[in-house]
């Protein structure tokens, strides 16, 4: 089976805390977050050349001495039915696997965990867990997706797997109150990451190219509020 891989980063120091990793990008997404910085991967993936798995395998084998694992990101990786096979191949090569996901495919998530195909999960919490706020953040109606996200969070809570929940904070979308509301709803989460928005040329909504990210002082305020509910809060600026 051919994998629809649209990007590969040989070495990353920022995609998996405490590990050196390679990063695999899969296309397409069921959300349209206006602040997404991978617009082409989401909206026009056919314009991006596909990288064959044999090339990925060759590069990973050359990197084996230097990297600890592989990160699968997107887009939304769980939209791809071949994701399990991709994870299995990476595991067979001897790599730990981290998955980045928006949490809208709890069935796939459960299967990956049951079959021990992933070692770490980063699940994005885009906004407070109510339909109005979530729809604003993800650019589509979120009623049904939100139910699935809550189911995915429930799976992570009960399974024996390392995970983090994370929010990319964006001026004009997120407020201090929003972050506090998110943290109340995920109380007990082992790790919560607050990521600062980073404008690029490849935004889904071009208006967001000109939005100035939150200051370090504001991020520290978010963390201070988050620590009322969560013991392990990490800033990624």
Pick the CATH number of 7-236 from 3.40.50.80, 3.40.1580.10, 3.90.180.10, 3.20.20.70: 3.20.20.70
- Say yes or no to pLDDT of 1 above 70: no
Give residue limits of the domains in the chain.
7-236
Q: How confident is the model at residue 79 (pLDDT cuts 50, 70, 90)?
A: very high
By the 8 A CB rule, do 6 and 48 touch?
A: yes
How far CA 197 is from CA of 23, 40, 45, 108, 214, in Å, comes to 20, 18, 23, 28, 8
- pLDDT tens for residues 94-137? 999 999 999 999 999 999 999 999 999 999 999 999 999 999 99
Token duo for residue 227: 């620590």
The predicted pLDDT at position 108 comes to: 98
- pLDDT tens for residues 164-194? 999 999 999 999 999 999 999 999 999 999 9
* DSSP 8-state secondary structure symbol assigned to residue 70: E
**Mean pLDDT for the chain overall:** 96
Which residues does 130 contact at the CB level (< 8 Å), separation at least 6?
Answer: 146
Report pTM.
Answer: 0.96
The CA distance from 75 to 72, in Å, is 10
Neighbour tally for 98: CB within 10 Å: 25
- Say yes or no to pLDDT of 151 above 80: yes
- pLDDT tens for residues 5-56? 999 999 999 999 999 999 999 999 999 999 999 999 999 999 999 999 999 9
In 3D, which of 174, 185, 186 has the Cα closest to residue 221?
174
The predicted pLDDT at position 27 comes to: 98
* 3-state SS, residue 176: helix
Q: What is the layout of strands, in order, in the sheet containing 120-124?
A: 7-12, 21-25, 69-73, 96-101, 120-124, 162-169, 192-196, 233-236
């Amino acid at each position: 089976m051919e994998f629809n891989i649209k990007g590969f980063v040989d070495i990353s120091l920022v995609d998996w805390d405490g590990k050196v990793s390679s990063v695999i990008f899969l296309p397409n997404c069921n959300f349209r977050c206006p602040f997404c910085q991978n617009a082409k991967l989401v909206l026009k993936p056919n314009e991006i050349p596909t990288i064959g798995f044999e090339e990925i395998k060759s590069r990973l084998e050359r990197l084996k001495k230097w990297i600890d694992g592989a990160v699968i990101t997107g887009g939304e990786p769980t939209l791809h039915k071949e994701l399990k096979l991709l994870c299995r191949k990476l595991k067979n090569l001897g790599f730990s696997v981290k998955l980045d996901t928006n949490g809208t495919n709890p069935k796939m998530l459960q299967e990956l965990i049951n079959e021990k195909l992933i070692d770490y999960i980063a699940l994005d919490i885009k906004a407070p867990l109510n339909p109005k706020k979530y729809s604003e953040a993800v650019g589509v109606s979120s009623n049904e997706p939100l139910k699935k996200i809550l189911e995915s969070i429930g799976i992570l809570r009960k399974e024996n797997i390392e995970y983090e929940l994370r929010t990319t904070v964006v001026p004009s979308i997120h407020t201090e109150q929003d972050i506090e509301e998110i943290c109340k709803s995920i109380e007990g989460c082992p790790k919560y990451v607050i990521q600062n928005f980073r404008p690029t040329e490849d935004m889904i909504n071009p208006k967001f190219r000109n939005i100035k990210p939150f200051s370090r002082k504001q991020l520290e305020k978010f963390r201070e509020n988050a620590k009322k509910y969560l013991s392990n809060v990490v800033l990624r600026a």
